[in-house]
Amino acid sequence: MRFCGLRAVIRKEVLQIVRDRRTLGFLLGLPALLLVMFGFALNFDVKHIPLAVCDEDRTAASRDLVGNFTRTEYFDVVARPSDPREIDLLMGEEKVRAAVIIPRDFSRNLLAGREAPIQVIVDGANSMSASTAAGYIGTIVQNYSVRATTRRLSEKGVRGFRMPLEAPTRVWYNPELRSANFLVPGLMAFILMVIVVVSTAFSVVREKERGTMEQIGVSPLRPFELIAGKTIPYVLLSLVSSHLVLLLGKVLFGVSIRGNYFLLLLTMTLFLIGGLGQGLFISTITWTQQVAFQLAILSTFLPTFILSGFIFPVRNMPHVIQAITTIIPARFFLSALRGIVLKGAGFHAIWKDLLYLAGFGVLTLGVSTLRMKTSVSEGGGGGRKRRRGSR
């Protein structure tokens, strides 16, 4: 490779980016803006669930049970109907998402040592929040039952009583179970993939529309020099944008990097090179910026959002869909990114993901180079002929 030709292409591309304020804002400003918007809008934390409590017993025991719900941040008691039939209307109007009915004989059964069942109703229209709410209620009721059993045995003179089975739980990597810790790395992969591919998809197409491919065709530049010259400035800009996203993730959402920074930098660089290669390939097979934009969005937005594991776990998908996800680079980048950022994983844990990202980058850049030879040979005239033929 002749470095003088590469340096000239890099200089030309940098000047083009600096002069084009829209491209510069697209690469630097839009990722940060999207992170803020998506980061605050997407939230999987199920808290402050509107709860209705129908206490037919109205005793100290029933009030103690209700107090276990009001003392947590997971439930807000917003209604206390006197008749259980009112719950149907409250749920139909979506004023409550869950309800607890305490029968009249609750305290009497509890004091007598008999089963004291209560009824729990959960709005299942949203299955995710419904299952979470049911789990919260089950845990609160179970803890209350254990305390009531222990208290009753103590009153009978049984000392040192312990439950036969205990399962103390320790949560690693995300002790507070904050959804932001899960979402921010996914948002970073999703945003960067879309932005990088879309921005670079315009690079060669712009040359075709302006007719400068003819000048490139008669220049001593080689296709690989052109590809490398157009890739390097976008890699550097994308790395700046990536660090801005990481900084906002730390400041706004408290997501810090637990692992090695240089390993994270290597992972981001490999992912960005693959994304840039994909964008350049799209740029070499299209003749207008409009078509390039449409192909870039189609090949990044939905695949990255649905098939990368950003929202939906890949292991829960059918085997056929899981096989399709192996061609989505964001899946492997997201796996490595979450491992480094959240778990502090080392190279031994993510080397397979890095190998795939490196292979994807080599493949896309190689195919883009081969396609560039065809584009350079056709030049701007071929592009104009093709556009006239499409009419």
Query: Residue 161: pLDDT above 70?
Result: no
| pLDDT for residue 361 is more than 50 | yes
pLDDT for res 382: 45
Give the CATH fold of the 49-155 domain: abc type-2 transporter like fold (3.40.1710)
9-23, 79-93, 216-230: segment of lowest average pLDDT: 216-230
Task: Determine which of 37-41, 162-166, 279-283, 335-339 has the lowest per-residue pLDDT on average.
Answer: 162-166
pLDDT at 1 over 50: no
pLDDT of residue 266: 94
Q: Looking at the predicted structure, is the pLDDT value of residue 95 above 60?
A: yes
Q: d(Cα 36, Cα 187) in Å, to the nearest integer?
A: 10
Dihedral (CA of 101, 106, 107, 110) sign? negative
Segment 70-97 shows an average pLDDT of 90
Q: What is the overall mean pLDDT for the chain?
A: 83
Residue 198 has pLDDT above 70, yes or no: yes
Among 98-112, 184-198, 201-215, 244-258, the minimum mean pLDDT is found in 201-215
98-102 vs 119-122, strand pairing mode: antiparallel
Q: Which amino acid is at 214?
A: E
The pLDDT score that the predictor gives to residue 111 is 81
d(CA 178, CA 50): 20
Give residue 73's identity as a one-letter amino acid code.
E
Rounded to the nearest 10 degrees, how much is the dihedral formed by the CA atoms of 264, 296, 365, 246? -10
Q: Is residue 126 pLDDT above 60, yes or no?
A: yes
CB 280 within 8 A of CB 370: no
Q: Does residue 31 have a pLDDT over 70?
A: yes
Average pLDDT in the 97-115 region?
A: 88
7 versus 54: which is more confidently predicted?
54
Packing angle, helices 179-210 and 347-390, rounded to 10 = 30
pLDDT of residue 389: 44
pLDDT(238) > 60: yes
Q: Which of 297, 300, 298, 290 is nearest to 205 (CA)?
A: 290
Highest mean pLDDT among 6-15, 66-75, 234-243, 349-358: 349-358
Domain positions in the chain: 12-43+178-390, 49-155
Please report the pLDDT score of residue 214 as a whole number: 59
Amino acid occupying residue 178 = R
The contacts of residue 218 (CB under 8 Å, 6+ apart) are none
Of the chain, the end-to-end C-alpha distance in Å amounts to 40
Block residue for tokens 């591309």: 13
H or E stretch including 299? helix 289-307
Q: What is the mean pLDDT of residues 172-192?
A: 83
On the question of pLDDT at 290 being above 90, the answer is no
Is the pLDDT score of 388 beyond 60? Answer: no
Please report the pLDDT score of residue 76 as a whole number: 92
| pTM of the complete model | 0.75
| pLDDT surpassing 60 at residue 317 | yes
390 has a pLDDT exceeding 60: no
- Percent share of the chain, pLDDT over 90: 25
**What torsion do the CA atoms of 286, 287, 292, 294 make, to the nearest 10 degrees?**
-100
Q: Is the pLDDT of residue 257 over 50?
A: yes
